[in-house]
Structure 1
Amino acid sequence: MSFTDAVRTCLTKYATFSGRARRAEYWWFSVVYVIATLVIAGTSLAIEVPLLNILLLPFVAPMLTVSVRRLHDTGKSGRRMLIALIPAAGPIIYLVGMTRDGAPGANQYGPSPKAVAHLVG
């Protein structure tokens, strides 16, 4: 999945928690999220933190949904995202989980997006 395809998919599926997302889709949108944060924070150093959060609000829902779909791809529930709230080790465990390859074939969350991409492309 290309950069533009990943961003387009995340922005169009901003409210879709069902299904699965490939690693490329998650990581490319994560790059966009980080860049948006840096640009908004860097261009307006005088902005208060609450205003910065409001400006980033359009990116929160797509980031949340692609994270849940990414966990679905590895065969885990979206609730597994809460592991990141554990101090110190939680974010590391969460990020390691996001780097894992998706479950081959279909699982309880739907068909493999990698297999679907091979059939289409």
Structure 2
Amino acid sequence: MNIQQAVETCFRKYVDFSGRASRSEYWWFLLAYLIVAIVGRLINQYIPIAVILVVLLPLMAVTVRRLHDIGKSGWMILIGLIPIIGMLVLIYLYVQPSQPGANRWGSSDALAS
């Protein structure tokens, strides 16, 4: 998956908190978000706020789907509320490889499409 496919997929599935998201889908979407936010900040100080409002729901959905992909519940996203340690744990989880085969949230074959 490339950056364009990841962004298209995440905006197409912006309210889909079920299923799975590959590691590349998650990280490409996050990179695209960061690039737009940084460039927007260079243009005007209020553009990143608009970017956050547009990207918040798709980012949450892809994050939950990413946790599903490694076999974890989407509720694990709440670990991020624990200062520093929570974010480190989540980053560790996000970089884990996809769980092969099927799990409670679907098949890994669906990630290829």
* Structure 1 residue 92 corresponds to structure 2 residue 88: yes
1:26-41 to 2 correspondences below 5 Å: 26-41=26-41
1:36–1:56: 8 Å Cα contact kept in structure 2? no
**Bigger mean CA deviation after superposition, 52-61 or 25-34:** 52-61
Q: Deviations over 1:54-78 (max 9, x none)?
A: 4421111110000000000000011
Find the aligned partners of 1:36 and 1:82 in 2 and give their Cα distance: 25
The one-letter code of the counterpart of 1:111 is: S
1:5 CA displacement: 1.0
Alignment of 1:74-93 (within 5 A): 74-93=70-89
Report what 1:67 is aligned to.
63
- With structure 2 as the length reference, what TM-score do the two structures score? 0.91
8 A Cα contact 2:36 2:51, kept in partner: no
How has the CA–CA distance of structure 1 residues 44 and 53 changed in structure 2, closer, same or farther, with 3 Å as cutoff? same
Deviation sequence 1:19-59 (CA, Å, 0-9, x none): 000000000000011112112222113x4xxx742442111
2:99 match: 103
8 Å CA contact retained: 1:21, 1:72: yes
Unaligned runs of 5+ in 2: none
The list of structure 1 runs, each at least 4 consecutive aligned residues, that deviate by more than 2 angstroms after superposition, is 51-56
Instruction: Give the SS at the match of 1:101.
Output: coil
> Percent identity of the aligned residues?
42
Give the Cα separation in 2 of the matches to 1:61 and 1:107.
Answer: 24
**In structure 2, how many angstroms separate the alpha carbons of the residues matched to 1:77 and 1:55?**
27
**Structure number with larger C-alpha Rg:** 1
Distance (whole Å) between structure 2 residues aligned to residue 52 and residue 4 of structure 1: 20
Using the size of structure 1 for normalisation, the TM-score is 0.85
Q: Which residue of 1 aligns with 2:19?
A: 19
Give the residue type in structure 2 aligned to 1:6.
A
Over aligned residue pairs, what C-alpha RMSD do you find? 1.7
- Count, aligned residues: 113
